[in-house]
Structure 1
Amino acid sequence: MSAQASIAITHVSRSFAGRGAVVQALDDVSLDCPAGSFTALIGPSGCGKSTMLRIALGLDTPNEGEVQIGGMKPFQAAKSGMTGVAFQDAALMPWRTVEDNIMLPLDVLNRNRTEFQEKVTHLIELVGLAGFEKALPGELSGGMRQRAAIARSLVTTPQVLFLDEPFGALDQILRRQMNIELQRIWMESRATTLLVTHGIDEAIFLADRVVVMQSRPGRIGKIIEIPFDRPRRPELFSLPEFHQLEREIAEALDGH
């Protein structure tokens, strides 16, 4: 298990100008994600979820406010290998094998591959890709490519993990299977995790709390704590308590 770091988003605002108008993507958003927690961001398209994630990753900068990852600026945290990320598009290099794709962050950070070989082997087993180490992305299914992307996000043993709709392109049955797998993987790493999702069921199943965002301008509407113990079993999806939380989040998304 890696060390853990918190995410501190403090009074962040971000606007974009275009076509003679200014769009307020985020307006005075503050959110603390304690070390070792799992937080899900959910909201309508255009509410600023992915913008917040990009700012926390150091890929964008706010007009106002700041983000700190374990007391560091996002760019510094990324450069140190403190953060990992997986997007909706697995974005695997088509000419690199599964093993080489997982090692990509090590190459970017100029780390010694040999020192991480045992870690890479473990991750390949952890995400269920043993036997596919030398396979190319074109030889994998969509779910397998996402498994490789998640392994890649964990190769530096990050203290903080960012997930931007990692299963958004998968069908409902496969997405639910991947939710169960992600929980298992997360319970081993316990990295502080911030997940962006459009799936209410996915947010409830995976997260400690669900942050409901509203748009125009992008802001936090409600934070809902998830009371279920871990590990969470597939049967959870059918419980009345689960459906009650779904209704509560749906109402919060509607602004009620």
Structure 2
Amino acid sequence: MVIAHAQRNFARAAQAPLVALQDVNLHCAPGSFTALIGPSGCGKSTLLRLIAGLDRPDAGSVKVAADDPERLQKAGRLGIAFQDAALLPWRTVTQNIRLPLDITGQYQAGDAARIAALVELVGLQRFEAALPAQLSGGMRQRVAIARALVTRPDVLLLDEPFGALDQILRRSMNLELQRIWLERPTTTVLVTHGIDEAVFLADRIVVMHGNPGRVAAVIDVPFARPRAPQLFVEPAFRALEEQVAEVLYAQRGGAHP
């Protein structure tokens, strides 16, 4: 994935356009896990939408696997999961996972085994026939991740998928996402507000500043995988969190809290 000098402007009535992103450059290697972190309004989700082919840059370019994101998105080669799991309440777990295949007309009888494997991958065995109202918040997000993977995407895009969960459940879902990613290593871009989440999950952390949105720093994460829960309290982990925080809060012109 290569983003070169990307800019995105939004028109405003009787005002100059709002520059949401300016001169954004980023390269994500195949099979890598990248976290985007920054304050609200810095353009993280806008950048993710450009990668997803749901929006287009006003200047510069965005290429995924050397192709146009919009074309890849329509072909099902980009998987997306948002903070809101957005499951259809009348469809079961299995039916929600197969939804992208139904929409594109790609579902075939042989896909049932693949969907069953995804149910097992996200740890929802015995809940195949459950409706969303019968699932916890974390379980609904597992369904959303499985749904994002059902088309065998080249790139998995996650826009704060655990942002609405409490700290205990979010930590548990971080471990689950790592397990899922290790079993199916897909080029992944995660938008998050959690420094600990970014450090635990990513290979690289892209710290963004706003007004206009831009890349302030790209920080490599050196920890080998799999990463155990004990990593959260190790001095090296804390030191890297501090490094990310220093860049994150530098725009405010003072020390971070």
**Contact in 1 for aligned 2:2/2:28 (Cα 8 Å):** yes
Aligned to 1:10: 4
Q: Which runs of structure 1 show a deviation greater than 6 angstroms over 4 or more consecutive aligned residues? A: none
1:229 is paired with a residue of what secondary structure? coil
**Contact in 2 for aligned 1:12/1:65 (Cα 8 Å):** yes
Per the normalisation by structure 2, the TM-score is 0.95
Aligned to 1:20: 14
**Structure 1 residue 172 corresponds to structure 2 residue 167:** yes
2:85 is paired with a residue of what secondary structure? coil
**Contact in 1 for aligned 2:98/2:107 (Cα 8 Å):** no
Aligned to 2:207: 212
RMSD: 0.9
Between 76-85 and 14-23, report the one with greater CA deviation: 14-23
Per the normalisation by structure 1, the TM-score is 0.96
Aligned positions, number: 250
Unaligned residue ranges in structure 1 (runs of 5+): 1-6
Distance, in Å, in 2 between the alignment partners of 1:69 and 1:80 is 13
Give the counterpart letter for 2:236 in structure 1. E
**Structure 1 residue 113 corresponds to structure 2 residue 94:** no
**Structure 1 residue 125 corresponds to structure 2 residue 120:** yes
Deviation for aligned residue 1:8 = 1.1
1:254 is paired with a residue of what secondary structure? helix
Distance, in Å, in 1 between the alignment partners of 2:102 and 2:108 is 8
Q: Deviations over 1:32-68 (max 9, x none)?
A: 1000000000000010000000011111111101111
Give the counterpart letter for 2:147 in structure 1. R
**Contact in 2 for aligned 1:162/1:193 (Cα 8 Å):** yes
**Structure 1 residue 57 corresponds to structure 2 residue 49:** no
Unaligned residue ranges in structure 2 (runs of 5+): 252-257
Give the counterpart letter for 2:243 in structure 1. E
Give the counterpart letter for 1:255 in structure 2. A
Q: Deviations over 1:108-141 (max 9, x none)?
A: 2211231211110011011111111111101111
1:228 is paired with a residue of what secondary structure? coil
Aligned to 2:230: 235
Identical positions, percent: 59
Aligned to 1:29: 24
Deviation for aligned residue 1:19 = 4.0
1:114 is paired with a residue of what secondary structure? coil
